[in-house]
Structure formats: C-alpha cells, structure tokens
Amino acid sequence: MLVVLLMVAVGFGLLASGISQGLRSAQERQVKRDVSQALRQVRSQAITAGQPASLRLDVLRNSYQMPGKTPRQLPDGMTLRLTAAAGPEGGESHEGLVTFYPNGGSTGGHLYLARGTQQSRIDIDWLTGRVTWRDMQQP
C-alpha cells in the first residue's frame, strides 16, 4: 500500500512539474506575441498618422511602451535586450527606441527576450518595418 501511495505521489509531482513548464512556455509565447503586436501597431500608427512613431524600450526595467500608453512590464525572470544599428551608444543599448516612419520603414534592429536558456529574437527590418520572431537556444 505504501509503495502505491509513493508511486501516486511521484506521479503527481511529475504532473505538476509538467504543467508548470507548460504554463511558463505559454506565457513566454504570449509575451513574444504582445511585443511583436506592439511593434506592428506602432508601425501602423506611423503610416496612418503620416509621422514617425516609436516604441520605447527600457532594458533596465524590462519594459516597453507604446506612444500614449502606460509601460508594459515583462514577467519576472524574463529579460529584454536591444541591438540597433544606431543609438546613443551605437550598437547595443540599455534604453532605446524603435522608430517607424510614414513610409513603413524603421530604424530596424533586434530585440532579444530571454528566460533561462530560452531566448527569442524579434527582428525589425529597417527598410520595410516588417516584424518577425524566432526562437533560439542559448549556449
């Protein structure tokens, strides 16, 4: 009887671990979608309004902000990094903007979202403003 109870307890422990990892993975996918959608919305605003619009990124606070909106914080344990062609430091920056222009183009760059060994890269094409993302494995 004790062996059966032990096996049931181990089974529930494994199940709980699997569910926890699944929820965390779903949360990470949602964050990638949210950031990508925010970039696309800012691009649409620039095109519609006929003037540049920027998504503000705060790498130190792991947050991003659309024009006229409150900043959105990434979940705990998730980090944000920006690599841009030009910025205050030129290259990697701790704070920055991704600016979109009325013709659809942008300042371009790459956003990296990481948690543990999982990392995703969001690419912003400078010529077209196209936003794409892909998962990467950190070494």
6-36 tens-digit pLDDT:
888 877 777 777 676 667 778 888 999 999 9
Which one has a higher pLDDT value, 136 or 106? Answer: 106
**Residue 58 three-state SS:** strand
**What pTM value is reported for the model?**
0.80
- Given a cut of 90, whether residue 117 has pLDDT beyond it is no
- Range of 93's domain? 2-137
Count of domains observed in the chain:
1
Task: Note the pLDDT of residue 90.
Answer: 44
- 72 Cβ neighbours under 8 A, 6+ residues apart: 34, 38, 63, 64, 65
Output the domain CATH number for residue 106: 3.55.40.10
